[in-house]
Chains A and B, each alone.
Chain A
Amino acid sequence: MNMVLPRFSVQKSLAWWPAVLLAALVCAAVFAPVLAPLDPDRQNLLGRLKVPGYESRGVTYWLGTDELGRDILSRLIYGARISISVAVLSVLLSGIVGVAVGMLAGYLRGWWETLLMRLVDIFLSIPAILLAIITVAVLGPGFFNVVIVLTLTRWPRYARVAYGQTLSVGKRPFVTLSQAMGGSVPRVLWVHILPNIIGPVLVVATLEFGLMVLFEAGLSFLGLGVQPPTASWGAMLSTGRNYVATAWWIATFPGLGLFLLVLSANLIGDRLSDTIGKGR
């Protein structure tokens, strides 16, 4: 018995690693000014493209330097800020818009349903990254434009889920009762429908978070995201691509950061969907 117990707790705590990893990355983003060893934008033209572990004048560049001699580790930590804040904002905004549209369509039915859900179909039939690219090309790059574009591109996904869920919840007795007692549309939606559909919406939101991180990095990679010199993982990768033969570390680390961030979000989303799926 004594032999078994510790192994069990190790296994249980191991199951939490995606959450721990995600929390660590979020902390890195929030406390970037404290954690980053150097100014992420400080250039050192004498120390360009140095290997990880390079030391100069008492400063260690743990992950090496980029083509302008900036510290990769510091840029990585600051880059987490962009990835996470863009993803969080766009998930929130697209979630709010999408859920509102989906609930209205599923609850009001009739003309509203046809109109709104046709709109959803139209948005979903343009491959998301192409829609994002054309919109960003029109609006111009930049932090808030990327958030707006991602919101515009992704709200239909939530609308679909919220719509389907509302259809099934809307027929339940407590909804009919509230209607009969004169509950207004916003009240019924807010008090009775939303709490009952929020589970599946959250699952989508977690999975979408990972996707948003990838989209933001993809746009930055193409030069359409947050503009230099602001550190962003996608843009770092795009520089790193030009140095694959000479400086492997430039592209490797930001990509690893992206991979771990998205992986932890996806693992959490997967587990959430298992739990919520079982609960019903």
Chain B
Amino acid sequence: MRLFLLNRLFQACTTAFGVLTLVFFIQRLTGDPTALLLPETATQEDFEAMRKTLGFDRPLIEQYLSFLGDMVQFDLGKSFIQNAPVAEILASRIPQTLQLAGGALVVAFAIGLPLGAIMALQRGKWISRWIMGFVLACQSMPTFWSGIMMIMVFGVWLKWLPPSGTGTLAHLVMPSIALGLLSLATYARITRSAVVDELGRDYIRSARARGVKTPRLVGKHLLRNSAIPVISITALEVSQLLAGAVIVETVFAWPGLGQLTVQSIASRDFAVVQAVVLLGAWVTIFANLLADILYSIIDPRVRLGTSL
């Protein structure tokens, strides 16, 4: 167990390190990152001055090492546009994005799981085909379109919900649905295949033979055993939701990390954009690590490396 954990931890660290390297080099794809930080009206002198202050005139390897040094100390730098530490700017936006992601997860769970279970239990029947159609539609829906359509119908025409902004629970409804639709499809599919797998097992047959009624069978036996894939997919969904938030927050004027990213690109505040990308990657790596650990606690075969 300890060996497995150490191994996974080491892997996560090398990946995190790789992400840093990748982000560092992406920013230097055009050769000079100064252009990203200054407005288009900047003069040649501004460029020189900026290069000096940020150390872009130093050799690449030196820049890289000092970048790594800052990151190891969790120093995300300073935003020149907002004149505040990047970490503070991010911290002020994180709660909103967490709220939105939480809402989306609730939507995805509450609708996706039952739909998936129904699809598996009613396999081949018309109802399961209709649900599959619905799931595929959710998967193919551009979030910015479903968001705008909801704003139009429920916000503008029917006036049931506030069209954008934040504050009350009512504000959270539409953005959560828009963001949750894609995850809903993922959950429905995963649950379906997990339940189908479990349905074929011997214990289900023997329980049926003992006369266990279907609701009890599903509630007590099936869902519990189908939970593992669902748990592990949640780790992947977290990063999907973070990424999806960029668009949903723009549509609904939701003041979270996503909106911050888009605003920062427009205002050429690259330190912030970089920090959001790194944060997204770290959250993903951490979530994956967590899922692996949970997985190995639930199912010892994983850590022993025997095939499932």
Contacts and interface: CB of A to CB of B under 8 A. Distances in A.
Contact of B36 (A137, A214, A259, A265): A137
Nearest to A256: B145
A255 B142 contact: yes
B9 interface: no
Contacts of B234: none
Interface residues of B, number: 52
A122 B142 contact: no
Contacts of B191: none
B145 A255 contact: yes
A251 B284 contact: no
A20 interface: no
Contacts of B22: 122-123, 126
A107 B274 CA distance: 36
B280 A218 contact: no
B243 interface: yes
Contact of A134 (B156, B277, B284, B288): B277
Given A122-B15, A133-B261, A259-B145, A221 B280 contact: no
B66 to A, nearest CB: 20
Considering residues B19, B140, B155, B270, which has the most beta carbons from chain A within 10 angstroms of its beta carbon? B140
A126 B281 contact: yes
Contacts of A126: 19, 22-23, 277, 280-281, 284
B270 A258 contact: no
Contact of A130 (B137, B140, B142, B280): B280
A252 B136 contact: no
A233 B216 CA distance: 49
A160 to B, nearest CB: 13
Interface string B150-184: 01100110000001000000000000000000000
Nearest to A124: B284
B107 interface: no
Nearest to A126: B281
Contacts of B99: none
Contacts of A128: 243
Given A222-B247, A241-B251, A122 B140 contact: no
Interface in B54-101: none
A255 B277 contact: no
Interface stretch (B26-34, B195-203, B290-298, B300-308): B26-34
A258 B284 contact: no
Contact of B14 (A118, A217, A251, A263): A118
A267 B284 contact: no
B152 A130 contact: no
A248 B152 contact: yes
Interface in A116-130: 118-119, 121-123, 125-130
Given A237-B144, A259-B142, A270 B273 contact: no
A252 B149 CA distance: 7
Nearest to A262: B140
B265 A133 contact: yes
Contacts of B244: 129
Given A127-B243, A244-B152, A244-B163, A138 B145 contact: no
Contacts of B251: 241
Nearest to A267: B136
A139 interface: yes
Contacts of A224: 265
A131 interface: yes
A170 interface: no
Interface string B268-287: 00100110110011001100
Contacts of B144: 217-218, 221, 234, 237-238, 241, 255
Contact of A133 (B19, B240, B246): B246
Nearest to A123: B22
A245 interface: yes
A135 B26 contact: yes
A137 B266 CA distance: 9
Given A126-B277, A127-B240, A130-B243, A137 B285 contact: no
B294 to A, nearest CB: 18
Interface in B1-45: 11, 14-15, 18-19, 22-23, 26-27, 29-30, 33, 36
A135 B273 CA distance: 11
A210 interface: yes
Contacts of B11: 121
A237 B142 CA distance: 10
B140 to A, nearest CB: 4
B217 interface: no
A267 B284 CA distance: 29
Given A127-B280, A217-B142, A262-B140, A137 B270 contact: yes
A139 B29 contact: yes
B283 to A, nearest CB: 9
A131 B278 CA distance: 10
19 contacts: A118-B14, A122-B19, A126-B284, A129-B246, A129-B247, A130-B242, A130-B246, A133-B261, A133-B265, A134-B27, A138-B26, A138-B30, A218-B143, A218-B144, A221-B250, A234-B144, A252-B152, A259-B140, A259-B141
Interface of B: 11, 14-15, 18-19, 22-23, 26-27, 29-30, 33, 36, 136-137, 139-145, 148-149, 151-152, 155-156, 163, 239-240, 242-244, 246-247, 250-251, 261-262, 265-266, 270, 273-274, 276-277, 280-281, 284-285, 288
